[in-house]
Amino acid sequence: MSEITKIILTEDDMPRQWYNIQADLKHPLPPPVDKEGKPIGPDALAPVFPMNLIEQEMSTQRWIDIPEEILEVLSLWRPSPLYRARRLEKALGTPAKIYYKNEGVSPPGSHKPNTAIAQAYYNREFGIKRLTTETGAGQWGSALAFACQLMGLECKVFMVRISFDQKPFRKIMMQTWGAECVASPSTETQAGRAILAQDPDTPGSLGIAISEAIEQAVQTDKTRYALGSVLNHVLMHQTIIGLEAKKQFAKIGAYPDIVIGCCGGGSNFAGLAFPFLADKFNGKDVRVIAIEPTACPTLTRAPFAYDSGDVAMMTPLLAMYSLGHTFVPPPIHAGGLRYHGMAPLVSHMLREGMIEAVAMPQLECYKAALLFARTEGFIPAPETAHAIAAVIREADKAKEEGKEKTIVMNWSGHGLMDLSGYRAYLEGKLSDFILPEEMLKRSIASMEGLPKPPEL
Amino acid sequence: MSEITKIILTEDDMPRQWYNIQADLKHPLPPPVDKEGKPIGPDALAPVFPMNLIEQEMSTQRWIDIPEEILEVLSLWRPSPLYRARRLEKALGTPAKIYYKNEGVSPPGSHKPNTAIAQAYYNREFGIKRLTTETGAGQWGSALAFACQLMGLECKVFMVRISFDQKPFRKIMMQTWGAECVASPSTETQAGRAILAQDPDTPGSLGIAISEAIEQAVQTDKTRYALGSVLNHVLMHQTIIGLEAKKQFAKIGAYPDIVIGCCGGGSNFAGLAFPFLADKFNGKDVRVIAIEPTACPTLTRAPFAYDSGDVAMMTPLLAMYSLGHTFVPPPIHAGGLRYHGMAPLVSHMLREGMIEAVAMPQLECYKAALLFARTEGFIPAPETAHAIAAVIREADKAKEEGKEKTIVMNWSGHGLMDLSGYRAYLEGKLSDFILPEEMLKRSIASMEGLPKPPEL
C-alpha cells in the first residue's frame, strides 16, 4: 500500500511512567477544602480512597512509575493505534492532516479502563477487597467492573434508575464481568432510603448514586470508592494516551499543531492533552482545545469557584469551573459530558492560558459523527463526536487559510452501546440545547456562601 | 513486561494474496447443479453475481492477488492481533498454550467485513451500483452496509422481521453507514407480497429474506446480490485471517497443534483453517476442528447431499452436508450458526478427512464465554463462544495428558450487540438443545428426489 493508515507501537514501546502535570504548574493548584475553606488533608480522604491513591492525588513528582501488573493488563489493548484519517480529510477537501488516537479498542470500548485498572490495582495493593462506584449511562461502571474482575476485586455499581431501566445492555456488561449492579436510589443505603421515602418513583440522579456509593464505601469493611474522572490521579492515569501519541508522532517525524479532546469531567481530554502541555510549558507552540456541549458549558460560561463534586455535597469542595452542584443538564445523548463541574487540573490549565475551550451544539456533533462513521468506518460515541466536530471546524479553517495543519484528537470511545442517539438524529428528532442565561444564573447561585478560591 | 500479550504485524506485513484451497483438493469439488443434476455454468449465475466474482468462485488458481484498494480499507483494522490467552490458561491450569485471533476489532465487530469489502470492490469494478442482501440478527447486514459505504455503493438489506422489530441496534448501525434496511417480508418484492398475503403477521425467515434480496438484485438495473458465507469466493476472502496467523506464529517461532473455529456457513472457520490445511496437504501434522451447535448439527449428524441454499430453493443445488432446506433450527442465541447447510468447501474437507467436527451444547458455550470474558476481558459473540468451549475441552485434555499443546482459535467477533444472551444465561433461563432424531429425519426428508452427489 502507498501510505499507512495507522501508526502502531509494540508492547515494548509502552510508556513506563505516567506524566504528572502538577510538577509543571506555573501557579499552585488550589487545594480541596471543606465548607469553611480549610484545606482537606490526606486523612480526611482515607475512608473514601486508599492512601496510595491519595498520595498520587497530592503528588508533585513529574514522573510516576506504572507498576508492571498494570502494564500487563493494559497490554490487552494498548498501545492503542494512532490513525491518520485520510478518508475524512478527503471528504472535507482539507489540506490539514487529521490523526485520531483510537481508545475504543479496549474491552469496554472507551478510555475509562486506563484508570479503572490502575485504581483497582492500587486498592488491592492497599488490602481493599471491594470497590463501589456510581454510573449514569454505564460507561464508567462497565470499565470498573472489567477492571475489578481482572484485578481480583469485588465491584458494586449504583446505576441511576432511569438508565438501569432504559439501558439494560451496559448493566449486562457489568454483570458479565461479575459486578453487582443495583438501581439507584436503592434500599441499601440511608441516602437511598431517604430519597425513596420522599419519592418512591424517582428516576434517580448521578448525585444520589454518588452519595450511595460513598456511603457504602465508608461504612463497609475493606471497601473504598472509585471515581472515573475529575480527580488528579485519574487524569494522570490517562496520560498514557498522550505519551503513546507523542511516541507515535515521533515515529513518523511529525508533531501536532492542534490537540483536541472532548471534556466532561476532563479525563480523556487531559489524557491526550497533558503530555503535549508538558512540551508547551517548555516553549513548544501547540494549541490545545477542550470541547464541551453547549448544553453543559462549564469551561466556556461558568465561573471559577469552590464547589462540591456532587449534588448532596458529600465530596470536599474543589476549585474548578462549575455550573453549580444543583445544575441539571438538558438530556443530550452525550451522557459523559453532562457534569456540572470540571477537573481542577483542566480548570487550572484554562486559567493559566495553556488551553482553549469551545462549546459545541448537539446537531453539529452528530453530523460530524455520521461523516466520520461513513468515511473512517468506526462509529464514535456521542461524547467523542464533540471532538470530531471541533476537528472538522479546524480542518475547514485550515482549508480556508490554505494551511497544512496537523490536528490530533482523542477518539475516546465507540458508539456501539449508544446507537439510540444515532436513531434519533437520523429520524430528525434531535435538537440543539443552548443553556438559557436564566437557568445558568439560578444554578450558579447554588454556590453562594461557599469559600472563594484565591486569585491567580 | 516479562512476556508479551499479543503478536502484532504492521500493515506492511499484510498478506498480498488470498489462498484458494481449490488448487489443493485431493478429489474434485462437486459443482453446483440445477434440479435435474446438470452443472450450473457461470452464465446462469450472472444475474445474481458479477462475473469477476463468479470467476473467483470457480477458480482453481492457488494464489489470487488482493487489490491495493481492498488492502487499504482492510488496514483500518488489519492485520488483526494474535493474542496469547495467558489469563485463560492460568484459570484452566493447563499446560496448553492458547492463542486467539481477534477479529472483533473491525468496525462492525466481526470477521464479516473481510469479504464484504472485497465483494463491494469487485461489484463496483464490474459497474454495479447497488448490492442487496439478507440478514438475520444483523451481523452480515451491518458488515455489508459498512463495506458499501466505504466502497461507494448503495446497499439494501432485507432483515428478518422478528429481528428488525426486536433487535433495533443492528438496524441503526446499518443506517448509520447509509444502508437502507427494510423488514422482510416486505411489500417491495413479489416473494414478499405473496407471503404477506398468506400471513400478514409472519415473523419472517432467513429463507424469505434471501428470496427477496435475490429477486430485487435480479430485477433491478446495475444491482447484484451478496452472500456472507458458504460460497467459495467468500471463504477465500477470509483466508487473510489464517495467512496473518501463520506469519504471527512464524514471528514467535511456533506452530499450532490444533486449529479451531466455529462453523455456521463456514466462512470464519475456513478463514483461519484453510491456510493451515495448505500445510497439512503437504504433510504437516495439524488437527483442524470445526465447531457447530448441537441444535444445528450439520457436520456431525446430517448427510452429504445436493441441497438448496435457501428455503424457497432459489439458489442452485450445492454439494454439502445439509439438514435439509426446510430445517428450522431451535432459537439458540448464536444466530450465525443457525444454518441448515455448510459451505461446500468445508463439507469437502470433512469428507476428505482433513478436518474434524464437534457439536457443542449451548450452556457449555456460555459458561466458556463467561470464563473468557472474566479472564481475557473481551466479551465474545455467542458464535465465537462455541470455539472457546472447544478450546477449553482441548486444553483440559492437554492437562490430563500433561502435554504442552499449542491451540489457536478464530475469535470471530465481540458480543457487545448480543448481550441479551448473556442476560438469559446469567438469569438461568437458557437450556441446551439437542436436535431430536425425529426432527432430523423429517427435515432431511425434504431433500428426497434431489440429485445425489458423486462418491469420493
Cα first-last separation, chain B: 53
Angle at B278 between CA B274 and CA B279, to 5 degrees: 125
Nearest chain B CA: its distance from A267 CA (Å) = 22
Residues of A in contact with B417 (CB under 8 A): 416
B 7-26 residues with CB < 8 A to A: 8, 10-12, 14
DSSP-assigned states of every residue in B171-219: HHHHHHTT-EEEEES-SSSHHHHHHHHH-TT----HHHHHHHHHHHHHH
**Chain B interface includes A173 (CB < 8 A):** yes
Mutation test of the interface with chain A: which of B172, B374, B422, B425, choosing the one with the most A Cβ atoms within 10 A? B172
| Number of A–B residue contacts, CB under 8 Å | 125
- Assess contact for A28 and A94: CB atoms under 8 A: no
The candidate with the shortest Cα–Cα distance to A251, out of A103, A81, A404, is A81
In the prediction, which pLDDT does A1 show?
A: 59
Q: Nearest-CA neighbor of B288 among B277, B298, B279, B278?
A: B277
Rounded to an integer, what distance in angstroms lies between the CA atom of residue B373 and that of residue A71? 19
Strand, coil or helix: what is B415? coil
Element (H, E) at B248: helix B240-251
The set of cell numbers assigned to B135 is 440478514
**Do residues A356 and A287 lie in contact, with contact meaning Cβ atoms separated by under 8 Å?**
yes
Nearest to B75 among A1, A72, A178 (CB): A1
Distance CA A16, CA B142 (A): 39
Q: Angle at Cα B229 formed by Cα B315 and Cα B373, nearest 5°?
A: 145
CB–CB contact A416 B420 (8 Å):
no
* A239: its cell numbers: 496520560
- Closest residue by Cα to residue A246 from A281, A278, A269: A278
Grid cell for residue A301:
460560561
Question: Largest Cα–Cα distance of chain B, in whole Å?
Answer: 66
A374 min Cα distance to partner chain B (Å):
6
- What is the pLDDT, as a whole number, of residue A54? 97
How close are the terminal C-alpha atoms of chain A, in Å? 53
Grid coordinates representing A27 are 501557579
Give the contacts of A187 (CB within 8 A, at least 6 positions apart).
A193, A196
Cell numbers at residue B338, please?
443457525
Side chain identity, residue A182? V
Q: Do A11 and B10 touch (CB under 8 A)?
A: no
The sign of the dihedral angle between the CA atoms of A290, A294, A298, A302 is positive
Residue A101: how many other CB atoms lie within 10 Å: 26
Please report, as a single letter, which amino acid is at residue B30. P
Question: What single-letter amino acid sits at A281?
Answer: F
| Helix/strand/coil for A343 | coil
Determine contact: B197 vs chain A, CB below 8 A: no
DSSP per position, A78-122:
PSPPEEE-HHHHHHHT-SSEEEEEEGGGSTTSBSTHHHHHHHHHH
In this complex, the residue of A14, A76, A370 whose CB is nearest that of residue B176 is A370
Q: Which of residues 276-305 of B touch A (CB under 8 A)?
A: none
Question: Which of B325, B268, B363 minimizes the C-alpha distance to B445?
Answer: B325
The burial of A129, by beta-carbon neighbours within 10 Å (0-12 exposed, 13-18 middle, 19 or more buried), is given as: middle
State pLDDT tens for residues A123-168.
999 999 999 999 988 999 999 999 999 999 999 999 999 889 888 8
Pick from A144, A218, A211, A129: nearest CA to A179 = A144
Element (H, E) at A18: strand A17-19
- CB contacts of B177 in chain A (<8 Å) are 373-374
Please state whether the predicted TM-score (pTM) of the whole model is above 0.90: yes
Q: Which three cell numbers stand for residue A33?
A: 477544602
Q: Would you call A429 exposed, middle or buried from its count of C-beta atoms within 10 A (0-12, 13-18, 19+)?
A: exposed
Residue ranges of chain B with pLDDT lower than 50? none
For residue A72, give the chain B residue with the closest CA: B1
Contact B349, B277 (CB under 8 A): yes
A87 in contact with B, Cβ within 8 Å: yes
Looking only at the bridges linking them, the beta strands covering B356-360 and B287-293 are parallel
A 365-384 residues with CB < 8 A to B: 370, 373-379
**Amino acid at position B342, single letter:** M
CA B361 to centroid of chain Cα atoms? 19
Q: Which of A9, A13, A73, A76 to mutate to test binding with chain B, by most B CBs within 10 Å of its CB?
A: A76
Cβ proximity of A19 and A63 under 8 Å: yes
Contact A75 B4 (CB under 8 A): yes
A 35-74 near B (Cβ less than 8 A): 68, 71-73
Q: Which of B1, B148, B370 to substitute to test the interface with A, most A CBs within 10 Å?
A: B1
Q: How many helices (H) and strands (E) does chain B have?
A: 19, 15
Least CB–CB distance from B416: residue in A178, A375, A417? A417
Say if the Cβ atoms of A168 and B423 lie within 8 Å.
yes
- Identify the H or E element spanning A141: helix A139-151
CATH number assigned to the domain with residue range B6-13+78-109+238-439, chosen from the 4 options 3.30.70.330, 3.40.50.1100, 3.30.750.24, 1.20.1250.20:
3.40.50.1100
CA-wise closest residue to B272 among B233, B231, B239: B239
Q: Is B53 helix (H, G, I), strand (E, B) or coil?
A: helix
Q: Which residues of A touch B146 (CB under 8 A)?
A: 377
Phi and psi at residue B20, in whole multiples of 5°?
A: -105, 105
pLDDT in tens, chain A (456 residues): 568 899 999 999 999 999 999 999 999 999 999 999 999 999 999 999 999 999 999 999 999 999 999 999 999 999 999 999 999 999 999 999 999 999 999 999 999 999 999 999 999 999 999 999 999 889 999 999 999 999 999 999 999 998 898 888 999 999 999 999 999 999 999 999 999 999 999 888 888 899 899 999 999 999 999 999 999 999 999 999 999 999 999 999 999 999 999 999 999 999 999 999 999 999 999 999 999 999 999 999 999 999 998 878 888 999 999 999 988 878 778 888 888 999 999 999 999 999 999 999 999 999 999 999 999 999 999 999 999 999 999 999 999 999 999 999 999 999 999 999 999 999 999 999 999 999 999 999 999 999 999 988
DSSP state of B39: B
CB contact under 8 A, B176 and A87: no
Chain A contact set for B172 (CB, 8 A): 419-420, 422-423, 426
CB A136 within 8 A of CB A338: yes
**Residue A138 falls in which region: left (phi positive, over 0), alpha (psi -120 to 50) or beta:** left
**B160 closest CA partner among B178, B177, B139:** B139
| B166 in contact with chain A, both atoms CB, cutoff 8 A | no
A403 in B contact zone (CB under 8 Å)? no
Ordered DSSP codes for A383-423: HHHHHHHHHHHHHHHHHHHT---EEEEEE-BB-TT-HHHHH
ipTM of the complex: 0.96
Residue of A nearest to B179 (CA): A374
Contacts of residue A62, defined as CB under 8 A and 6 or more positions apart, other chains included, come to A19, A20, A23, A24
Please tell me the distance in Å from B77's CA to the nearest CA on chain A: 9
Domain residue ranges of chain B, discontinuous segments joined by + = 6-13+78-109+238-439, 17-66+111-232
Residues facing residue A83 across a β-bridge = A6, A100
Interacting residues of B64 by C-beta distance below 8 A, sequence separation 6+: B17, B18, B20, B56, B236
Q: Which of B377, B423, B426 sits opposite A76 (nearest CB)?
A: B377
Q: Residue B7's closest chain A neighbor by CA?
A: A10
Question: CB of B235 within 8 A of CB of B271?
Answer: yes
Measured between alpha carbons, how far is residue A21 from residues A28, A113, A236, A344, A357 in Å? 11, 20, 8, 12, 19
- The answer to whether domain A6-13+78-109+238-439 and domain A17-66+111-232 are alike in fold is yes
A234 burial class (0-12, 13-18, 19+ CB within 10 angstroms)? Answer: buried
Residue B360 backbone dihedrals phi, psi, to 5 degrees: -125, 135
| B331 CB within 8 Å of a chain A CB | no
CATH number assigned to the domain covering B17-66+111-232: 3.40.50.1100
Task: Indicate yes or no: CB of A422 within 8 angstroms of CB of B374.
Answer: no
Rounded to whole angstroms, the Cα distance separating A70 from A62 reads 19
Distance (Å, whole) CA A127 – CA A222: 7
Residue indicated by cell numbers 452472500: B227
Which of A6, A73, A175 lies at the smallest CB-CB distance from B426?
A175
- A1 → closest Cβ in B71, B169, B173: B71
Task: Please give the Cα distance from A32 to B160 (Å, whole number).
Answer: 57
C-beta atoms of A6 and B6 within 8 A = no
